[in-house]
Structure formats: structure tokens, C-alpha cells
Amino acid sequence: MDVDSNQGRMGAYLRDHQDKVVSRWTELVVAGLRGRSSAAEVRRELEDLYSLVIRAMSGADVQAAGELRAALAELSRSRARNGFTPSETALAIFALKDAVYELVADTTDLMPEYLAFSRTIDDLGLHTFETYATAREQVIADQAASMLELTTPVIRLWDGIIAVPLVGTLDSVRTQLVMEKLLETLVATGAEHAVLDITGVPTVDTEVAQHLLKTVSAVRLVGAECIISGIRPQVAQTIVALGIEFGDIATKASLADALAHALSRTGHKIGTA
Amino acid sequence: MEELPIRTGNDVVRVRQQVRAVAAESGLSLVDQTKLVTAASELARNALVHGGGGMARVDVVTSGAGKPGVRIGFTDDGPGIADVDQALTDGWTSGGGLGLGLSGARRLVDEFELNSKPGSGTSVVVVKWSR
Ligand SMILES: Nc1ncnc2c1ncn2[C@@H]1O[C@H](COP(=O)(O)OP(=O)(O)OP(=O)(O)O)[C@@H](O)[C@H]1O
Ligand SMILES: [Mg+2]
């Protein structure tokens, strides 16, 4: 008996017992998801998959196998995005084996067909795992990217004065992002003063210094002036020992000092509280 | 005590974090912690950028007078440094940098030992003592 005819008989069997198998399959999957999806929701998902399994199993339908894989990939991706574990995700497909086995166990003459079916499901299960892993990696990459966005806001401090509070590691990717957002805002608002606040940058080494110097030069090219603020005492001492020179760039201990400095340059006067 | 690989930019961040934790635990002042972490950042990045990757090793040590300190060793199997004096000159860079990492790191620590020969990699060991 070759695999194809095994699959054909299994396909027919699955079609004849559709309601029983899907009900049991749904039960098993719902139990494994610990109440995070309703039975009706799961049943709808599984019914779609089931009709694809039948079509794929009946052998004749070449497209069905591809559609089944695509449907499973979609299911894995949505499970990965919604925080389901890999085993909870793979359960959706592996539980079909149990559901079918419980029925087939009584009709011993279907055993060879069941084994072939079981191998196919194992294959699909692995496929589910792989898609799940890829989807999770994508989720993590997206989160990292949005963190990057989140941690580089450009804030309007005053008329003509904007600030960028830098937090964390200032590598070249971050610097590029900060520079683009900063220059865009400067040009869009016509602001003439930009404050780069490094209170949240734990280490200022030659790499960070170079990135700051580059940003300052770019800001000057669009006709604005930069002030670097948030230089804590221990960082100031380290910068001096390292030999980094900020030249004629205004540097201030705090964001408040930087704002006062920029205001006095724009002709505003503020009193001290 | 801790061997850390230096193969990516993230590894340099990890070295900094490890040095900061050990330096704080050993009772270094905030200024000395910051100086040591910055020196470590320079030397780790040199191992990565110029040495093609390497290792860092962070140890807690005790001076002859019984004072605690932190010692960090960096090693790489890169091309090595042909002219060490030139490399240690403020502002000298073989390309693109400020040329302050190596000379600056030496000023940031209490002990600094550099061993390098062309073709046989580079090793730098630094120590910062608590005051
Ligand atoms: N581990 C190393 N292996 C090989 N060459 C090195 C190594 N460390 C430093 N050098 C050489 O010494 C030069 C000076 O190093 P230094 O760290 O002072 O400057 P830099 O790395 O070029 O720039 P930066 O100021 O950004 O650190 C480097 O340009 C490089 O040619
Ligand atoms: Mg360097």
C-alpha cells in the first residue's frame, strides 16, 4: 500500500467522521489553552483547518497542502503575537492526532493509514514551531525598534528651543535616528536652539563623544545652535581625563541651566526662583 | 572571575555593565567607577574594532596595603600594534576615531600594562584601586 492510497482512505474516513473528530479536537485544544480562547472561537479555527486537512489528505487536491501550511503559519503567527507559548501553539495541530486516534483505535484495519496520517501531522507540527519561532523573533525585533523610537523623543521646550533627552546607550543607530528627528524638527519649527541632554547616558566615552560632535555639526549646518546638558560631575571628570574637548559647544550641568542659557540668547529674561 | 566575550557592540555594553557592578561592589567611589567603566569601554571597543574581537576578564584584587581594587584584562588575536608609543599618543588614530581611547584609558586608571606585537594580538591589563 503506498502513501497516497493511505492518505485517500484516511481522507475519506476523516470526512465521514468530521463532527465527532472536530468536537473532540476542539475539546482537547480548549483544555490546553486554559480558558484563553472560547470553545466557539477555537472550533471555528479548527473547522477551517480540518476541511483543509481533508482536502490535503484526499490526495487529488494539490493546492490544499499549500493552503493548509499557509493557514497553520497564520495561526502560529497570531498565537506568537498574542503571547501563547510554543507548546500551546503546536497543541492545536498535535491534538488532532489524539482526537483521531481515539476513534481509529477501535477499527484496527485503519492502523497503517493512521500512521501515515500521524507522520503528516508531525510534519505540520514542526512547521508550526518554525513559524512560531520566526514570528516571535519578529515581535522582539519590532519591540526593539519601537523602544528605540520611544527613547528618542524630540521635545519643544520653549518658542524656538527644542530638547532631546538621551537615555541609554548612544550607538550609531541611535545617533542616526536622533539626528534625523532633531534636524527634521529644527527645520519644521524654525527653532534655533537644540539641547542635547545626556543625563540618561551612563557612559560618555570617545564613541559617544564622536556621535555628539557629529550631531552638533549637523545642527549647525541647518543654522541652529546646540547646547549639551546633563553632564554629571563624575562624567565631567571622566571626559577631561579622557582628553575629549567640546570646543566652543556650550555645555551645562542641567537641562534647566541649558534652557536658561538658550532663553538669554534668544533675548528672553527669566528670574531665578 | 568573569570571562566575557567581545564580538559585537552589545558585548561592549555587557562588559561595561559587568565592570560597573564589580566596581560598585568593591567600594570604588562614583567618580572612580565612572572612570573605570569608561576605560573598559574604550579597551573593549579597541579589541572589537582593531583586534577583530576578543575577551575581557574582570577580577577583584587586593593591594599590598590591603585595599580592594578591580583588575580588567583585555585580550585579542588581532594584528597587534606595531608602534605602541604612537598608538598611545593623544589624537593618533589609524582611521576614523578621535585617537583618545587608548591614551585616555591609561589616564583613567591607576595601573596600565599593554603588551602587543605585530601579528600576535594585543593584551591590556588595567587596575583601579579604591581610595
Ligand atoms: N587592540 C588593538 N589591536 C590593534 N590595534 C589597536 C588596538 N587598540 C588600539 N589600536 C591602534 O591604536 C590606535 C589608537 O587607539 P585609540 O583607542 O586611542 O584610538 P581609536 O580607537 O582609533 O579612536 P577612539 O578615540 O575612538 O578610541 C588605533 O587607531 C589602532 O590603530
Ligand atoms: Mg579606540
Specify the domain boundaries for CATH 3.30.750.24 within chain A. Answer: 155-265
pLDDT of residue A137: 85
Fold of the A155-265 domain: Transcription Regulator spoIIAA (3.30.750)
Residue B30 and residue A237: Cβ atoms within 8 Å? no
B53 Ramachandran zone, left/alpha/beta (phi>0; psi -120 to 50):
left
Per-run averaged pLDDT (10 residues), chain B, 131 residues? 87 94 95 97 97 97 94 97 96 93 98 95 97 87
Q: What pLDDT is stored for residue A181 in this prediction?
A: 92
Where are the domain boundaries for CATH 1.10.490 in chain A? Answer: 3-144
Tell if the CB–CB gap between A210 and B98 is shorter than 8 Å.
yes
Ligand closest to B56 (CA) is 1
- The residue among A59, A132, A58 whose CA lies nearest residue A94 is A132
Q: What is the pLDDT of residue A272?
A: 55
In this complex, the residue of A206, A210, A234 whose CB is nearest that of residue B104 is A206
CATH of A3-144, one of 1.10.490, 1.10.20, 1.10.10, 3.30.70: 1.10.490
A233 contacts in chain B (CB < 8 Å): 31
* Chain A nearest-CA residue for B36: A238
Q: Closest approach of chain A CAs to the CA of B4, in angstroms?
A: 19
User: For residue A1, what pLDDT is reported?
Assistant: 43
What residue spans define the domains of chain B? 2-129
Superfamily of domain B2-129: Histidine kinase-like ATPase, C-terminal domain (3.30.565.10)
What chain A residue is nearest to B107 in terms of C-alpha separation?
Answer: A241
Reported ipTM:
0.93
Walk across the sheet containing B68-76 and list its strands: B2-6, B54-62, B68-76, B122-129, B111-116
| A171-223 pLDDT tens trace | 888 888 889 999 999 999 999 999 999 999 999 999 999 999 999 999 999 99
Q: What tens-digit pLDDT sequence spans chain A (273 residues)?
A: 444 566 678 888 889 999 999 999 999 999 888 777 888 989 999 999 999 998 888 777 778 888 999 999 988 888 888 888 888 888 888 999 999 998 888 776 888 888 888 998 999 999 888 888 888 888 888 777 767 666 678 999 999 999 999 988 888 888 888 899 999 999 999 999 999 999 999 999 999 999 999 999 999 999 999 999 999 999 999 999 999 999 999 999 999 999 999 999 888 766 654
pLDDT of the residue at B97: 92
Residue A271 has a pLDDT of 61
Asked if A203 and B41 come within 8 Å (Cβ–Cβ), the reply is yes
Residue B125: strand, helix, or coil: strand
| Residue in B closest to A169 by C-alpha | B13
Is the Cβ pair B101, A233 closer than 8 Å? no
Are A197 and A230 spatial neighbours (Cβ–Cβ below 8 Å)? yes
Cβ contacts (< 8 Å) between B33 and chain A: which residues? 234
pTM to 2 decimal places? 0.71
CA of A73 to the centre of ligand 1 (A): 48
